[in-house]
Copies of this chain bind each other. A is one copy, B any other.
Amino acid sequence: MNRLGVDFLGFSLKNPIAAASGTFGFGKEYAEFYDINQLGAVCLKGLTLHKKAGNDGVRIWECTGGMLNSIGLENPGVKAFIEEYEETQARIQTVKIVNLGGDSLEEYVEGARLLNQIDIDILELNISCPNVKSGGMLFGVSEDSAYQVTRAVKDITRFPLMVKLSPNVADIAVIAAACEEAGADGLSLINTVQGMAIDIQNRRAVFDNVYAGLSGAAIKPIALRMVHQAAKAVNIPIMGIGGIYSGRDVLEFLMVGASCVQIGTAGFIRPTKLMEILAELKAYCEENDLFLKEIINII
């Protein structure tokens, strides 16, 4: 009797906990610390069609209740990923979510097309990427471009499509609805909140890119609010993300409408942190005679 099981995009997840993209690599490193297949799912490091070297300068910065990152999507590119996929696949028996970014519609589409060659479980579209064609505004902040990129990728991919939303918007419900209309099978949110840090000594921005992405406990109230708003706006399932550090935090996200969650920053507390959160969640469910499915979206 698995109290923790949840359904998501046609998969029966053994529990609602997934590692968040960019905080888990391709599963190799943490596999040395624990059995990563105990996770309900894993989101692999964000890919782009072409290899990316990532950003120069400081890439991470600690702040109260969280961190800022400006990794710059360093990744080997879709092709290299595909070439090494056999190894990745052998390592990961749980649900595999591949995260795809891009700077243009064409890049997204071509990346998605190439990924059709291999057997992944879910495609997660990271639309918090600057749209080079429309002046660098993120795909994820305009209703139109969110719609377009979702639609274009949906047309080509053979996998369930989950769109990962940016929180840097005035009304997340509008973007969520646009993605649903464009054919998204599910949503994940939130990506990092745009922030900034200052190096007082040198009187400059800490990051070469000036702005960076805020994650961790600090953003949990924002993430909960947005998941709640999105859940009320769409009928497709949601993966909740943002500042989850405990089993109770997981429950909160399920209650506001997420079917499952991703955990990023908390994993940096220690390599086995996700297992601790899982254990806490399990203990809570047992003590309270709770099946997680019962509480999804009850608020």
Q: How far is the CA of A251 from the CA of B195 in the complex (A)?
A: 17
Hey, which chain B residues are within 8 Å of A195, CB to CB? 221-222, 224-225
Q: What string of 1s and 0s marks CB contacts (under 8 Å) between A145-176 and chain B? A: 00000000000000000000000111100000
Q: Can you list 12 A-B contacts with CB-CB less than 8 angstroms, sorted by A residue number?
A: A64-B64, A64-B217, A64-B243, A65-B217, A68-B221, A142-B170, A169-B170, A193-B221, A194-B225, A195-B224, A198-B256, A205-B299
**A52 proximal to B (CB < 8 A):** no
Known: A169-B170, A222-B194. A203 touches B255 (CB 8 A): yes
6 nearest A-B pairs in the assembled complex, by CB-CB distance: A195-B221, A65-B65, A218-B218, A64-B217, A196-B225, A64-B65
- Inter-chain pairs besides A65-B217, A200-B248, 16 sampled, C-beta below 8 Å: A63-B220, A64-B65, A64-B217, A64-B220, A65-B65, A65-B66, A142-B170, A195-B225, A198-B251, A198-B255, A200-B251, A200-B255, A205-B228, A214-B222, A217-B218, A218-B219
Interface residues of A in 228-246 (CB under 8 A from B): 228, 243
Task: Please report the C-alpha to C-alpha distance between residue A196 and residue B221 in the assembled complex, in whole angstroms.
Answer: 5
Contacts of A171 in B (CB 8 A): 141
Interface of A is mostly: mixed
A220 to B197, CA, bound (A): 9
Query: Which residues of B have CB within 8 Å of A214?
Result: 221-222
**Chain B CB within 10 Å, residue with most, of A196, A204, A220:** A196
A9 within 8 A of B: no
Q: Indicate if A211 sits at the interface (CB-CB under 8 A).
A: yes
Q: Which residue of B lies closest to A284 (CB)?
A: B200
Given A64-B65, A299-B203, A299-B204, are A197 and B170 also a contact pair (CB < 8 Å)? Answer: no
